[in-house]
Amino acid sequence: MVSLSFAEEVFVIDVEGMTCEMCQIAVKRAISQINGVKRVLTSLNNKIAVVIAQDGTKEDLLLKAISNTGNYKGTVIGKTRF
């Protein structure tokens, strides 16, 4: 029997400084460019980004992409694997 692993990680990131729709678009675009990221959802109302990525994606790369985008600070507030 062959075992296949298609594990993904989900990160919930609080994004400090995301105050408008343009901020939301910029954060989403920056995270989307990271290798291994499959999908990014952002919520302006909750000031979070939800990232679905391949297993092994480094959270520090996600946070760095956010901070390099502008005056934003990301903090991982939840993480799970499935």
Q: How far apart are CA 50 and CA 58, in angstroms?
A: 14
Could you read off the pLDDT of 20-33 as tens digits, one per residue? 999 999 999 999 99
Phi, psi (5° rounding) for residue 58?
-80, 125
Q: How far apart are CA 70 and CA 18, in angstroms?
A: 10
- The CATH number of 8-81 is which of 3.40.190.10, 3.30.70.100, 2.40.50.100, 3.40.50.970? 3.30.70.100
- pTM here is 0.90
Ordered per-residue pLDDT tens for the chain, 82 residues: 544 556 899 999 999 999 999 999 999 999 999 999 999 999 999 999 999 999 999 999 999 999 999 899 999 999 999 8
Tokens 């507030």, located at residue: 77
Instruction: Mention every residue, 6+ apart, whose C-beta is less than 8 A from residue 81.
Output: 7, 8, 9, 10, 55
Q: How far apart are CA 64 and CA 5, in angstroms?
A: 28
What residues does each domain of the chain span? Answer: 8-81
